[in-house]
């Protein structure tokens, strides 16, 4: 599935932003600005119990290891050439016509998530003014036109050529296929409509919209708790969305986030015994979604070449135990509450590359909660309102060749994560540090330590690239297990006295710069007493 990175397509960088960043760096060179936004973070002592009290190592050794052990080949990236509209179309099996019927929501396994405890069914009773019904597609192939022919018009109606309005949920069961091609499907907010896939969905050159009938328009976001229609694909499903648009879907209820690809909930998964869901979303656009994309226990899903704009909480959010994902060549911007792209809780062995993530409320790209063995490469991450790329409690990850520019806080931030390799990245004109590594005790937060354990340890390898014109300095690390530096360019300092480090690096700055800059050697900074020993 992989190809050499030499085949990478170079993407255009916003020229105005580069010019602005370079100009800012030049103007700041020699400035005597006070570091009001110093990146040094004081760590409060931990309470006895789950996490032992943090302690600072007192002394560090500075040495120059052989550079050979730091050399790496360019990472291999997945070959994207096979993920096309034509390839998706070839997967469609237009066999026997599906059976289409009206069924009670409470009788369908695929809908039980929405009618169980907490008086969930009251939502649909109120909206449908009776026992909740759904359109059920079974055992074969169907289009929207096929569905409209077989159910009463008050449930699904072709309101104008190629435009269909659904006023109840639509369920595509395990052995069924629904194709939406060159159509618009409007899911009525007033009617409580949504689309659930247990079989296969093929959507191409189409629109799927949350629809507010009272306004004769999109069900634009008003409140996290207000029902809005959504798309959910369960375990065993295959979802293919190509060259399509989705808007105004999703709200804060579980599995109702907008576009969700999810294994069944644990109790249902034991009953259904179906494999992890999969599919592709390519060349499409998502706007005003609660989450633009969410997945849970999903395998080998491809999210490629899409635009995620002005979504509410996240643009792209793979979650628990998803793996083998490809998130590539997407443009993610304008997320209103949190991050552009985030993977969280054991999202492993995945690829995040050649994306643009910019102008989001918090970070551009985040690896969170023990997500490991991921490659984050060649992304353009700029003008986010917090960090550019953030790693929280997620060790054993490689960041290669990213351009992280003009984010309001740190360019690259690494918290409680070990064996983080930063190769050939550019962190430029960020509001605080270019690269910031630190430890933090999270035991006093609302974090479930059993579900999301962590260690207060951080270690980095930084090789190549540039740390240029960052407002608080190029690099800071707080109480590391180790840090290795080699061939890192540090240009356009913002301080009148030139390059300066914070944290433990600042204490031995002259030695580090002598090895790194004058002698052009690798530098290993290693505590005499490691954090593990300090906590014994």
Regarding beta strands 285-287 and 523-527, do their DSSP bridges make them parallel or antiparallel, or are they unpaired? unpaired
Burial label for 394, CB within 10 Å (0-12, 13-18, 19+), is buried
Q: Tell me the DSSP string of 62-109.
A: EE---GGGG--PPPPEE--TT-SHHHHHTT----SBPEEEEEEGGG-G
Catalytic residue among 319, 323, 339, 438: 319
For the record, the structure tokens of 121 come out as 């069914």
- The 3-class SS string of 429-465 reads CCCCEEEEEECCCCCCCCCCCCCCCCCCCCEEEEECC
CA distance 339 to 249: 18
Do the beta carbons of residue 286 and residue 254 sit within 8 Å? no
Closest CA to 217 of 251, 190, 178, 177: 190
Pair 387, 411: CB distance under 8 Å: yes
Active site residue 385: no
Q: What are phi and psi for residue 377, nearest 5 degrees?
A: -140, 140
- Residue 95, exposed/middle/buried by CB under 10 A (0-12, 13-18, 19+)? exposed
C-alpha–C-alpha distance, residues 121 and 106, integer Å: 8
Q: Which residues are designated catalytic? A: 319
């Amino acid at each position: 599935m992989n190809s050499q990175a030499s085949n990478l397509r170079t993407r255009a960088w916003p020229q105005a932003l580069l010019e602005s960043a370079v100009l800012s760096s030049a103007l700041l060179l020699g400035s005597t600005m006070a570091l009001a936004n110093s990146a040094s973070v004081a760590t409060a002592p931990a309470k006895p119990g789950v996490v032992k009290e943090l302690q600072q190592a007192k002394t560090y050794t500075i040495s120059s290891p052989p550079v050979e052990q730091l050399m790496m080949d360019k990472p291999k990236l997945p070959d994207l050439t096979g993920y096309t509209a034509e390839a998706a179309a070839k997967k469609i099996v237009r066999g026997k016509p599906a059976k289409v019927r009206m069924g009670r929501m409470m009788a369908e396994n695929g809908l039980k998530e929405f009618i169980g405890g907490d008086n969930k069914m009251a939502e649909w009773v109120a909206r449908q003014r009776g026992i909740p019904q759904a359109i059920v597609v079974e055992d074969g192939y169907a289009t929207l036109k096929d569905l409209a022919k077989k159910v009463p018009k008050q449930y699904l109606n072709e309101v104008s050529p190629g435009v269909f309005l659904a006023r109840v949920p639509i369920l595509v069961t395990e052995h069924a296929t629904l194709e939406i091609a060159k159509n618009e499907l409007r899911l009525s907010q007033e009617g409580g409509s949504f689309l659930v896939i247990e079989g296969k969905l093929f959507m191409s050159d189409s629109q799927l919209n949350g629809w507010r009938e009272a306004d004769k328009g999109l069900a634009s976001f008003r409140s996290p708790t207000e029902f809005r229609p959504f798309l959910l694909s369960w375990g065993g499903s295959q979802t293919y969305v190509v060259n399509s648009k989705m808007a105004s879907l999703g709200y804060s209820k579980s599995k109702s986030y907008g576009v969700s690809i999810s294994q069944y909930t644990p109790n249902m998964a034991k009953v259904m015994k179906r494999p992890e869901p999969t599919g592709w979303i390519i060349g499409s656009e998502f706007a005003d979604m609660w989450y633009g994309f969410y997945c849970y226990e999903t395998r080998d899903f491809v999210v490629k070449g899409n635009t995620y704009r002005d979504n509410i909480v996240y643009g792209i959010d793979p979650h628990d135990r998803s793996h083998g994902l490809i998130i590539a060549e997407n443009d993610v911007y304008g997320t209103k509450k949190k991050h552009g792209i985030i993977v969280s809780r054991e999202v492993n062995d995945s690829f995040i590359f050649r994306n643009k993530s910019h102008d989001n409320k918090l970070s551009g790209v985040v690896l969170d909660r023990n997500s490991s063995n991921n490659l984050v490469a060649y992304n353009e991450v700029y003008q986010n309102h917090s960090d550019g790329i953030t790693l929280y409690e997620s060790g054993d990850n490689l960041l290669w060749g990213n351009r992280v520019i003009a984010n309001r806080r740190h360019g690259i931030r690494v918290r409680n994560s070990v064996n983080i390799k930063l190769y050939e990245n550019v962190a430029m004109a960020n509001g605080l540090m270019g690269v910031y590594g630190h430890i933090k005790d999270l035991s006093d937060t609302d974090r479930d330590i059993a579900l999301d354990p962590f260690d207060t340890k951080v270690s980095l390898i930084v090789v190549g690239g540039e740390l240029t014109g960052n407002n608080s300095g190029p690099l800071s690390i707080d109480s590391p297990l180790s840090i290795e530096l080699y061939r890192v360019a540090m240009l356009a300092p913002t301080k009148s006295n030139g390059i300066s480090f914070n944290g433990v690096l600042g204490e031995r700055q002259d030695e580090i710069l002598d090895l790194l800059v004058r002698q052009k050697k690798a530098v290993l900074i290693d505590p005499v007493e490691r954090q593990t020993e300090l906590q014994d």
